Amino acid sequence: MVTDDAGQGGTAAGRDNKTGHQGGAGHSMVQLITPAGERVSHPEYDPWLKDVSDEQLCSLYEDLVVIRRIDKEATALQRQGELGLWPPLLGQEASQVGSVRALRDDDFIFPSYRENGVAYCRGVDLADILRVWRGAASGGWDPYTVNMAIPQIVIGAQTLHATGYAMGIQNDGADSAAIVYFGDGATSEGDVNEAMVFAASFQVPLVFFCQNNHWAISEPVRVQSHTQLVDRGTGFGIPSMRVDGNDVLAVMAATRVALDRARRGGGPTFIEAVTYRMGPHTTADDPTRYRDANELEDWAAKDPIGRVHALLDRKGLFTEEFETGVRTKADAVARELRAGCIGMPDPEPLDVFKHVYSTPNSWLDRQQDHYSRYLATFGDPEVATQEEGAR
Amino acid sequence: MVTDDAGQGGTAAGRDNKTGHQGGAGHSMVQLITPAGERVSHPEYDPWLKDVSDEQLCSLYEDLVVIRRIDKEATALQRQGELGLWPPLLGQEASQVGSVRALRDDDFIFPSYRENGVAYCRGVDLADILRVWRGAASGGWDPYTVNMAIPQIVIGAQTLHATGYAMGIQNDGADSAAIVYFGDGATSEGDVNEAMVFAASFQVPLVFFCQNNHWAISEPVRVQSHTQLVDRGTGFGIPSMRVDGNDVLAVMAATRVALDRARRGGGPTFIEAVTYRMGPHTTADDPTRYRDANELEDWAAKDPIGRVHALLDRKGLFTEEFETGVRTKADAVARELRAGCIGMPDPEPLDVFKHVYSTPNSWLDRQQDHYSRYLATFGDPEVATQEEGAR
Amino acid sequence: MTQMTFARAINSGLRRSLDNDPKVVLMGEDIGALGGVFRVTDGLQKDFGKHRVVDTPLAESGIVGTAVGLAYRGYRPVVEIQFDGFVYPAFDQIVSQVAKMHYRSRGTVKMPITIRIPFGGGIGSPEHHSESPEAYFAHTAGLRVVTPASPQDAHTMIQQAISCDDPVVFFEPKRRYHDKGEVDESLDPNSAPPMGRASVVTDGSDVTLVAYGPLVKTARDAATAAADEGVSVEVIDLRSLAPVDFATVEASVRKTGRLVITHEAGQSNGLGAEVAASITERCFYHLEAAPVRVTGFDVPYPYSKVEMHHLPNLDRILDGVDRALGRPNSLSGLEG
Amino acid sequence: MTQMTFARAINSGLRRSLDNDPKVVLMGEDIGALGGVFRVTDGLQKDFGKHRVVDTPLAESGIVGTAVGLAYRGYRPVVEIQFDGFVYPAFDQIVSQVAKMHYRSRGTVKMPITIRIPFGGGIGSPEHHSESPEAYFAHTAGLRVVTPASPQDAHTMIQQAISCDDPVVFFEPKRRYHDKGEVDESLDPNSAPPMGRASVVTDGSDVTLVAYGPLVKTARDAATAAADEGVSVEVIDLRSLAPVDFATVEASVRKTGRLVITHEAGQSNGLGAEVAASITERCFYHLEAAPVRVTGFDVPYPYSKVEMHHLPNLDRILDGVDRALGRPNSLSGLEG
Ligand SMILES: Cc1ncc(C[n+]2csc(CCOP(=O)(O)OP(=O)(O)O)c2C)c(N)n1
Ligand SMILES: Cc1ncc(C[n+]2csc(CCOP(=O)(O)OP(=O)(O)O)c2C)c(N)n1
Ligand SMILES: [Mg+2]
Ligand SMILES: [Mg+2]
């Protein structure tokens, strides 16, 4: 057996995943706003942003700030015991806002569990965003009212759903598109790769939107791949782009390019949005066990909000009035979020049996009947569920 | 709904998988022997064939011919009811011989079900090759005597086994390698893609050997991919080669390149061997239902054996004596194969229970005991198994 | 009424579903030009086009996962898994997605997906081609699991499965594909017996024999043979494996007092255990003897030279009937 | 003897196995620097290196499939599946490869793979994090399935599983990870009770109560509560779910004449069915009443606000005991 210390020259190199960064020089990363807030021009992507007015830029900024505020409030609610869990998206605001705001209402979104910023921009009711994390449901909202699927926890499974949905769009002869969100870790799952196979084979109108936030819980992206993730799309024959995921305009432009291709029958596109998970994986996680504080600092300097702030400053748009307006909005949203969370009615005991089937089922109906009888032997159904028993 | 006839411009194109061939101009195909039998030189690959003497070339030819003969005899045995099924490898002889003969004895092979030519070259007992297809076992041979795993029917599953085995080689500090065989259809399975993820992540000594024989039962390769399959490897950051799979020397050279990289700690390699399944998928298949006779003709002109014959001819090596020797050998192998098949002892009734566990199991032991008692109520255990019953 | 094979009856049912509802799409490996390896989809792509009868890439999770997406979009996908042993790569999508989506989405997203799986052994195939994985799915909340045993049931039940708003795993007893029977193709699936109902296929009074799928024929033959020995066997074809129509089984056992269950799947944690346990719960005091299971063994499906030792056949079933009746049998003398 | 948590006891057992056999390798997601999301592998990568405690890419089929290859090469892989609900992507590799390889290779290739799966609910987690998939594996020939219920068993059984030449699915009752107990770390696993044996954890004479994993504690508490009411409950911890040590259960039921089985998994086709059916087969004439199942419902594991309605608790178990004894209970008056 080769131990780590003994090393093994080249053959052991593969397991030393933490050292070094991902190689691959294939795709350069598209960036339209520098961390310092400079707007750099780009002949290929600028045309896709022609309609982005100062007003829109301000509104993008507002979304970024509000989402960060939602994230913070939800984290606080979790700490206060109002939520069971929360997966912070701190640092990924630009990836989420830039992509979702490129969509039309009739486009359909398949998220993972972390796209709560996307849900906000899509108009999902604030309490509904928290419903799952409060443990009051497995799915928070009606997908058809916002054209956004419920969160997906099984890593990568939603990529196939998005592909199938896009097959449906194609069959319907519609010119809308689907977009699917997933992480860097997800790229290793068979499902994500099969989704690319199907999407490429049938040339469906779909955007694969990969937020490479550099971590899958404790695993750095290099465990999943030594080359850029964007290369993966290329390998399936899918046109692929690599963009600065902390740059809301770069993300928006790339997503528009992809959507345009989809609407014109050009098939799927793969976008790698290079970003960073600045918080823990979830509120249950402790990243100090596995990652360097320095890394966080490096990325703090590339913050997605700071650079838009700086850009607006340069443009003279970041007035006190504007700032106050944004803060007021964020405060209001946070208040509404909290109120929606705390005021959410608890499910009823027999909700356990609800919606398993859409038509009656003799096995389950009998179980529900028996359990109702059981509950009826207690005055208070809460008493019936203490692990240690009431008797 | 869009019907096929209505078409749909670009958006419907994806489903018209049968028209057109795979695109992708990324990799040119390495060919060292033309279909006419000319040896074309190649600065990159020729050095890997320096040791291939005339004698070796003749022996490669012999293997090609013997394997084709085995395939023919096995097909006949199936038609005569001696085998339940047989998956012909007609047309893929060069891919199999060229790759397996590049290996060392201590390298380990993970085949699919079609690598019966590989098994022959590896020295697997002829009857053992047929054992599975006769229905006398699920695995034909002891993998450790020939360093070749038993056949795998679940498409792509063996690619992960090969990857894990190669992790073991790496841990052991050995300089051997593993090779895994799979088809064009298999590239769509999640497992094959996950295998490439793991192999690339850990940089294991493994050769992914994809025989693109253009068909997965009735599905042309374009259903799986619109780009060359070789691009897939590249997408995972795996060095990849595309070779003429009907050219035994090109296959051998490419496999040697890959093995050398593996032994030197350079990690995995992906080889796409472009070949053609000239027969049915299995003896149970009827390819006239789904493919054009013309296609077969085109490929007959690129036959892997014909071109080596022509090359030997050009070199003056294809003497009558040589030809007779090869024919005699092929006849002898065919006779031995047939004898081994027909003379194979049938398994015993209680073999049903054998080898499920390596240690006693109370559930199964009881079932075996009860079934023995049941059999004992019949004089002849054969009587006990008639579906319509003896009573 | 037309004489047709079991396979043809499914083909005809699929055709009717495709005809009646433009949202029905068929997906699978080799189901197009080839018509499937068993020819069950023969001619359908030709008649309905490549967008409704889709040859998919070779990836089972992909097939089921994209079906979920199509259902999300309002389609009714009918998925073919080529053989029983190849459903496992799709297990996650079936168990975590197909089965749970309606629950997870609080009833907003329907999953009217039919997953067709040719299953069972006895056809001399190599490994992975003869398995009986029904218990995995019958244990999975959110799914319905059915299996027809006659061409007529095949014809109506496939249509009922497709029009059901819940996901249905539809097991097709492949060794009966070539069996023929009378089929009324014009029968309205809405007025035919619902797929959830078990059916008493042979009346009897001494013992209840429960079977499904490929073994229904064997069970009927066993009943005929038993009649020769003066034993009256009531044969029930379960048809639905999840939920099992226990009311029908219970009524029979209350009458006979004795129960034999047979299936090809391995015994432990198979359907037979559920039937035995539930019937014991429901009519313990009517049982004259312990329910008897006559099943495959707890082994990987064996190679073809010995598969007939694994599969319950007429004699093994009769031996089980004898055990239930306390007549001399292969285990006589062992304490039971 | 040392006081330690259940999780720590497994950690200590894994450490011993790594120490004793250089062929043991651990694989999984986040098991390295993080020590696993439950910290069960805490510190092991630091001490044994990245080649023996391997953080893998995020792909469960990949993890199990590469473990098969390592076993082919002579290794003894111990695989961690992060949560019960994430084992399904690996289902094909487990069912078609791990379980069958020894059979398929006619005994030449051993698969000494241990698949560790934290399972069960009651921890307030979102969906997919609280499932009880044991029946799927217990129905799969070629696998052994075990689950410890105490820190001492966790410590010895993990070592027994790793040294077993057959593949073992090792279910860890995650809501008991923090429970403490006395553990003798020096206990030789070879002289400890084998993992295949059930254990009578509370003696009793009126009714046999069978539990496993997380519910053993609840069952013991129920026995204590029942004793207050003058009912003597014998509690059996199955420990092994495939095969079940029916001899031990049978001996108890022959004594008590009554049987209650409890598990978190959905009732239909769960382990309870097999236990009820097998025990009925083995000692029908000793049973005074039908075996009673107290289990989770046939629903996807529910969200945390209602999970305690799904999970059997002390009162529901006692209600089941009452049913088995014919005492007044929630179903009194319904025909049984
Ligand atoms: C199939 C499956 N395996 C494991 C997990 C446990 N898990 C939850 S999140 C996660 C990491 C995901 O990483 P990535 O895809 O990069 O997304 P991110 O969390 O960074 O947004 C893992 C392993 C899961 N949810 N699903
Ligand atoms: C998981 C799985 N799905 C389906 C099948 C049925 N099947 C057997 S061979 C085959 C086609 C394989 O095509 P390819 O990978 O190109 O290999 P080839 O047969 O051409 O050598 C299919 C679909 C299978 N064996 N395993
Ligand atoms: Mg990530
Ligand atoms: Mg092929």
- Which pLDDT score is estimated for B286? 96
Tokens of B96: 């199999």
- Which pLDDT score is estimated for A380? 83
What is the β-pairing status of strands C144-146 and C259-266? Answer: unpaired
Tokens of A201: 């084979």
- Which pLDDT score is estimated for A388? 84
Q: Which residue has the tokens 């779909």?
A: A206
- Which pLDDT score is estimated for D104? 97
A217 touches chain D (CB under 8 A): yes
Q: What's the mean pLDDT when you consider all of chain D?
A: 97
Report yes or no: D236 and D275 within 8 Å, Cβ to Cβ.
no
> Cis omega before residue D243 (within 30°)?
yes
Number of neighbouring beta carbons within 10 Å of residue A34: 15
Number of neighbouring beta carbons within 10 Å of residue D326: 12
Query: Which of B116, B193, B217 for mutating ligand 2's site (highest number of atoms within 8 Å of CB)?
Result: B217
Distances from the Cα of C79 to the Cα of B128, C118, C164, angstroms: 37, 12, 14
* Gap from CA of B154 to ligand 1 centroid (Å): 27
Distance between CA atoms of residues A246 and A277, nearest Å:
11
A363 in the Ramachandran plot: left (φ > 0), alpha (ψ -120 to 50) or beta? Answer: alpha
Share of chain B above pLDDT 70, in %: 93
A320-330 pLDDT per residue, tens: 999 999 999 99
Mean pLDDT of C11-34: 98
Contacts of D244 in chain B (CB under 8 A): 363
C104-162 pLDDT per residue, tens: 999 999 999 999 999 999 999 999 999 999 999 999 999 999 999 999 999 999 999 99
Give the three-state DSSP class for D68: helix
D218 touches chain A (CB under 8 A): yes
Distances from the Cα of C160 to the Cα of C26, C113, C140, C166, C247, angstroms: 15, 12, 20, 11, 21
Q: What is the 3-state secondary structure (H, E, C) of D247-304?
A: HHHHHHHHHHCCEEEEEEEECCCCHHHHHHHHHHHHHHHHCCCCCEEEEECCCCCCCH
* Gap from CA of A217 to ligand 1 centroid (Å): 7
Closest partner residue to D135 (CB to CB) among C89, C266, C269 is C269
Distances from the Cα of D1 to the Cα of B368, D4, D151, D187, angstroms: 42, 9, 11, 9
The ligand 2 site (C-beta within 6 Å) comprises: B 114, 153-155, 183-186, 213, 215-217, 277, 281; C 29, 58, 60, 82, 86, 89
Task: Name the active-site residue from B69, B277, B307, B309.
Answer: B277
Distances from the Cα of B65 to the Cα of B93, B331, B337, B339, C33, angstroms: 8, 10, 15, 20, 33
- Which pLDDT score is estimated for C335? 65
Taking the model in full, what pTM does it have? Answer: 0.97
Testing the interface with B: which of A5, A11, A27, A263 to mutate, by most B Cβ within 10 A?
A11
C208-267 pLDDT per residue, tens: 999 999 999 999 999 999 999 999 999 999 999 999 999 999 999 999 999 999 999 999
B81 touches chain A (CB under 8 A): no
Tokens of B177: 């390698």
- Looking at the predicted structure, is the pLDDT value of residue B4 above 60? no
Q: Which ligand is nearest to the CA of B90?
A: 2
Give residues with Cβ within 8 angstroms of D295, minimum separation 6.
Answer: D261, D262, D263, D264, D265, D266, D267, D270, D272, D312
Report yes or no: C312 and C215 within 8 Å, Cβ to Cβ.
yes
Mean pLDDT of B199-225: 98
Atom of ligand 2 nearest to the CA of D92: 1
The verdict on domain B2-342 having CATH code 3.40.50.970 is: yes
Task: Name the active-site residue from C51, C102, C128, C129.
Answer: C129
Closest partner residue to A189 (CB to CB) among D89, D129, D218 is D89
Distance between CA atoms of residues C259 and C325, nearest Å:
9
D7-38 pLDDT per residue, tens: 999 999 999 999 999 999 999 999 999 999 99
Length of chain D (residues): 336
Distance between CA atoms of residues C6 and C32, nearest Å:
19
- Looking at the predicted structure, is the pLDDT value of residue B8 above 70? no
B141-198 pLDDT per residue, tens: 999 999 999 999 999 999 999 999 999 999 999 999 999 999 999 999 999 999 999 9
Q: What is the 3-state secondary structure (H, E, C) of chain C?
A: CEEEEHHHHHHHHHHHHHHHCCCEEEEECCCCCCCCCCCCCCCHHHHHCCCCEEECCCCHHHHHHHHHHHHHCCCEEEEECCCHHHCHHHHHHHHHHHCCHHHHCCCCCCCCCEEEEEECCCCCCCCCCCCCCHHHHHCCCCCEEECCCCHHHHHHHHHHHHHCCCCEEEEEEHHHCCCEEEECCCCCCCCCCCCCCCEEEECCCCEEEEECCCHHHHHHHHHHHHHHCCCCEEEEECCEEECCCHHHHHHHHHHHCCEEEEEEEECCCCHHHHHHHHHHHHHHHHCCCCCEEEEECCCCCCCHHHHHHHCCCHHHHHHHHHHHHCCCCCCCCCCC
pLDDT tens by residue, chain A, 391 residues: 333 332 223 333 445 443 334 444 457 899 999 999 999 999 999 999 999 999 999 999 999 999 999 999 999 999 999 999 999 999 999 999 999 999 999 999 999 999 999 999 999 999 999 999 999 998 999 999 999 999 999 999 999 999 999 999 999 999 999 999 999 999 999 999 999 999 999 999 999 999 999 999 999 999 999 999 999 999 999 999 999 999 999 999 999 999 999 999 999 999 999 999 999 999 999 999 999 999 999 999 999 999 999 999 999 999 999 999 999 999 999 999 999 999 999 999 999 999 999 999 999 999 999 999 999 999 887 788 888 888 7
Mean pLDDT of B70-97: 98
Within 4-23 of B, beta carbons closer than 8 Å to A belong to 8-15, 17, 23
Helix (H) or strand (E) holding A258: helix A248-263
A13 touches chain D (CB under 8 A): no
Indicate if C129 belongs to the active site: yes
pLDDT tier for residue B235 given thresholds of 50, 70 and 90: very high
Distance between CA atoms of residues B312 and B317, nearest Å:
5
Q: What's the mean pLDDT when you consider all of chain C?
A: 97
Query: Which of B118, B138, B154, B155 for mutating ligand 2's site (highest number of atoms within 8 Å of CB)?
Result: B155
Q: What residue ranges define each of the domains in chain D, with the CATH number in brackets?
A: 2-183 (3.40.50.970), 199-325 (3.40.50.920)
- Looking at the predicted structure, is the pLDDT value of residue D194 above 80? yes
Residue A83's closest CA among A377, A309, A283, A356? A283
Closest partner residue to C305 (CB to CB) among B153, B346, B386 is B346
D178 touches chain A (CB under 8 A): no
Residue A182's closest CA among A165, A148, A158? A158
Testing the interface with C: which of A198, A368, A369 to mutate, by most C Cβ within 10 A?
A198
Q: What's the mean pLDDT when you consider all of chain B?
A: 93
- Which pLDDT score is estimated for D335? 65
Q: Which ligand is nearest to the CA of B281?
A: 2
Indicate if B222 belongs to the active site: no
Contacts of B14 in chain C (CB under 8 A): none
* Gap from CA of A195 to ligand 4 centroid (Å): 20
Distances from the Cα of D77 to the Cα of C149, D27, D255, angstroms: 43, 7, 42
- Looking at the predicted structure, is the pLDDT value of residue B13 above 90? no
- Looking at the predicted structure, is the pLDDT value of residue C170 above 80? yes
Share of chain B above pLDDT 90, in %: 89
Q: How many CB pairs under 8 A join B and D?
A: 146
Residue spans of alpha helices (H) in B135-189: 143-146, 157-172
Whether B191 sits inside 8 A of C29 (CB atoms) is no
- Which pLDDT score is estimated for A384? 85
Distance between CA atoms of residues D239 and D217, nearest Å:
13
Within 215-244 of D, beta carbons closer than 8 Å to C belong to 242-243
Please tell me the distance in Å from D41's CA to the nearest CA on chain B: 20
Contacts of A178 in chain C (CB under 8 A): 69
Atom of ligand 2 nearest to the CA of B92: 21
The ligand 1 site (C-beta within 6 Å) comprises: A 114, 153-155, 183-186, 213, 215-217, 277, 281; D 29, 58, 60, 82, 86, 89
Whether C89 sits inside 8 A of D92 (CB atoms) is yes
Please tell me the distance in Å from C3's CA to the nearest CA on chain A: 34
What is the β-pairing status of strands D2-5 and D180-183? Answer: antiparallel
Report yes or no: A181 and A209 within 8 Å, Cβ to Cβ.
yes
Query: Which of A191, A209, A217 for mutating ligand 1's site (highest number of atoms within 8 Å of CB)?
Result: A217
Q: Could you tell me the strand order of the sheet in which D199-202 lies?
A: D199-202, D233-237, D207-211, D259-266, D292-296
Distance between CA atoms of residues C272 and C279, nearest Å:
10
A52-80 pLDDT per residue, tens: 999 999 999 999 999 999 999 999 999 99
- Looking at the predicted structure, is the pLDDT value of residue B26 above 90? no
**For D96, which DSSP code?**
I
D33 touches chain A (CB under 8 A): yes
Whether A170 sits inside 8 A of B2 (CB atoms) is yes
Give residues with Cβ within 8 angstroms of D224, minimum separation 6.
Answer: none
Amino acid letter, B43: P
Please tell me the distance in Å from A234's CA to the nearest CA on chain B: 6
- Looking at the predicted structure, is the pLDDT value of residue B17 above 90? no
Residue D171's closest CA among D19, D4, D6, D46? D6
* Gap from CA of A105 to ligand 3 centroid (Å): 27
Domain ranges of chain A: 2-342, 352-390
Distance between CA atoms of residues C197 and B217, nearest Å:
38
pLDDT tier for residue B14 given thresholds of 50, 70 and 90: very low
**For B359, which DSSP code?**
S
Contacts of A173 in chain C (CB under 8 A): none
Please state the φ and ψ torsions of residue D86, each to the nearest 5 degrees.
-110, 15
C327 touches chain B (CB under 8 A): no
From atom 7 of ligand 2, which residue's Cα is the shortest distance away?
B155
DSSP D305-332: GGHHHHS--HHHHHHHHHHHHT-S-TTT
Mean pLDDT of C7-14: 98
- Which pLDDT score is estimated for A26? 59
- Which pLDDT score is estimated for A386? 84
From atom 21 of ligand 2, which residue's Cα is the shortest distance away?
B183
Report yes or no: A235 and B262 within 8 Å, Cβ to Cβ.
no
Tokens of B280: 């049915």
